[in-house]
A and B are shown apart, each in its own frame.
Chain A
Amino acid sequence: MKRRTFLAGATAWGLGLVSRPGRTADDLGYSAPPRFTRPETSGEEGGLWALMDREERNLRRSPLIVRDGDLQSYVQDIACRLGSDHCPDIRVTLVRTPLFNASMAPNGMMQVWTGLLLRVENEAQLAAVLGHEIGHYLQKHSVERLRDIKSKSAIGQVFGLFGLAGAVGQLAVAASAYAYGRQHETEADRIGAQLMHRAGYQVGEAAKIWSNLLAESQAAEGKGANGSLLFATHPAPPERRAMLEDIARSLPDGVTGEEAFGRHVQRYLDEWLNDEIKRGQYAESLVLTTRHIARKFALETMHYHRGEIYRLRGRDGDLDLALGDYRNAIENDKPYPLALRGIGLIQRQRGQRKEAIEMLSRYLELAPAAPDALFIQSYIAELNS
């Protein structure tokens, strides 16, 4: 069985497998199975497909999916290039949930959560996650896993995960029930890396995802059930990162696609960051925004939202930090309107009348149709009197 051979483990990887025609010298030699045909519904695998078809239908009808065609087709296209021959079977749905996750069901339904899109930094990192999920798909891990966990009572929650529209509260439980075995994760990582490589992406980016997520989760105060949820489902990041770095060394070159990725997600950042902040996990959100600021990504947006996080957290000194961030967001010739508002509101509370009026007025000039325009006008009038 080809799959077993592939699975054989680290030594086979280290030595490199039998070469196949058409693959480059540094390729790890994975060959994907041919496209899957729909199994009989009565069988175990067929039952799983039927079940996922149903979940896909529910998801399609959920008000929480991102219906924007551009972003969806952008992600779909990346998945497609990774999936290669399997492209026609992969259907990507973007789900508005501020957590880091992606999944792929045996019927080809792939879910990508907006919390993931907010966290990856470029196309290569996104491709790493998508490639990993496609790896599970190609190796039919979910079917094997179904067999494994069928006896566990947690299976219901597994499907609760897919029916996530109504079950986000149960995610932590679901995620732990949903874990693939470590061997499956390792295998999927390797396949994912190879698919990335073949699609022309820099494989080294895969390891960076884990460094970034690790930093976030370490900042989290306590192990809250609302954390990023990813360590429940995946092998511990340090080893995983090391393994991915290892693979990357044998699969060099490739692009990161940072500019294109940023361009596609740009106009969603406000909405996603609002959702992110509402999780109330301020420590994690601070690490996230600080990271994007350090790489100079969407600077004004990130500064503004980090300012919001400080303002909401409201510990000693946080208002000053918020002011600092807001000011950074208005530095250049295209100031971020909501940051002007932020400064104005804080200065109003602090009795800094003059600056409050100036900032709130500038905000309204730039955003005359803002939801709070009339309200801000009333503040300005009050400050003027």
Chain B
Amino acid sequence: MRGLLLAVLALSVFGCASVKKVESGTNRLGERFTISIEGAWNQLDFPGVKPAQVWTMEGVTVDEFLIFNGIRDGEVMNSKSGNGKQQDFVFRKSMPTEEIVSLFEGVLSRDNAVFKLIKIEPYPFGGKKGFRFEYERIRKTDNVQLRGVGFGAVDGGDLFALLYHAPRLTFFPRHQARVEAIAATAVIR
């Protein structure tokens, strides 16, 4: 009995998730997408997060830096979590910017969070013609009020984007400048 339980323990701790260090410097996120970071980050290597990569500074329940590395035409933007009844959000290469931002809004409201777009503007991202947007969210699961910023561009029919959100108290202001700096270093090849 005890052996069985220890096996369960091992499985659940080692099988589920891990956190990897992302070192300071230039990081190649994929074939075509590179960013440079100053100071290390933590990457949450959880099996359920795809298609995004998730990085954090303060922890899984506090802040998220989401990296979308070349989402293809027809690809689902949200992870396959939830009860299966919820709507999936699919990227189309024909989408104009305003629809891509609505797509992110959908992805970020999938947990019933209240989402409000604060600003959207053109932004040269990764050397391409892109966009930048700011938003607010209220997580309904725990009532935490978040602020966020996102950057993105479509190139060769693929979507590249970085999103960061954290509690509007303390954490978003603390890390916003770092995130803006990272976005400025992005290169799409």
Are A and B co-members of a single complex? Answer: yes
Using a CB–CB distance below 8 Å, which chain A residues touch chain B?
61-64, 96, 165-166, 168-169, 225, 275, 278, 280, 312, 345, 348-349, 371-372, 374-375, 378
Min C-beta distance of B137 to chain A, whole Å = 10
> In the complex, are the beta carbons of B98 and A372 less than 8 A apart?
yes
14 A-B pairs, CB-CB below 8 angstroms? A62-B143, A63-B143, A64-B114, A165-B143, A166-B143, A169-B140, A278-B109, A312-B102, A371-B118, A371-B119, A372-B121, A375-B121, A375-B122, A378-B122
A349 contact set on B, CB distance < 8 A: 96
| B170: Cβ under 8 A from any A Cβ | no
| B43: Cβ under 8 A from any A Cβ | no
Min C-beta distance of B59 to chain A, whole Å = 20
A375 contact set on B, CB distance < 8 A: 97-98, 120-122, 131
Q: Tell me, in angstroms, the Cα distance from A280 to B140 when the chains sit together.
A: 17
Q: Tell me, in angstroms, the Cα distance from A64 to B145 when the chains sit together.
A: 10
A63 contact set on B, CB distance < 8 A: 138, 143, 145
B138 contact set on A, CB distance < 8 A: 63-64
Q: Tell me, in angstroms, the Cα distance from A96 to B143 when the chains sit together.
A: 13
Min C-beta distance of A98 to chain B, whole Å = 10
Using a CB–CB distance below 8 Å, which chain B residues touch chain A?
85, 87, 96-98, 102, 109, 112, 114-115, 117-122, 131, 138, 140-143, 145
List 5 other contacts, CB 8 Å, given A64-B138, A169-B140. Answer: A165-B140, A275-B114, A372-B98, A374-B119, A375-B121
> In the complex, are the beta carbons of A169 and B114 less than 8 A apart?
no
Min C-beta distance of A307 to chain B, whole Å = 14
Chain A's closest residue to B97 (CB) is: A375
Chain B's closest residue to A280 (CB) is: B87
Q: Tell me, in angstroms, the Cα distance from A169 to B140 when the chains sit together.
A: 9
Min C-beta distance of B115 to chain A, whole Å = 8
> In the complex, are the beta carbons of A372 and B141 less than 8 A apart?
no
B112 contact set on A, CB distance < 8 A: 168-169
A374 contact set on B, CB distance < 8 A: 119-122
A378 contact set on B, CB distance < 8 A: 121-122
With A165-B140, A166-B143, A168-B140 already in contact, the answer to whether A371 and B85 are too (CB < 8 A) is: no
B142 contact set on A, CB distance < 8 A: 166
Residue of A278, A280, A372 touching B119 (CB-CB under 8 A): A372
A345 contact set on B, CB distance < 8 A: 96, 98
Q: Tell me, in angstroms, the Cα distance from A225 to B112 when the chains sit together.
A: 14
With A278-B109, A348-B96, A375-B121 already in contact, the answer to whether A225 and B87 are too (CB < 8 A) is: no
> 7 smallest A-B Cβ distances: which pairs?
A374-B121, A378-B122, A372-B120, A375-B120, A371-B119, A63-B138, A375-B121
Q: Which interface residue of A278, A374, A375, A378 has the most chain B CB atoms within 10 A?
A: A375
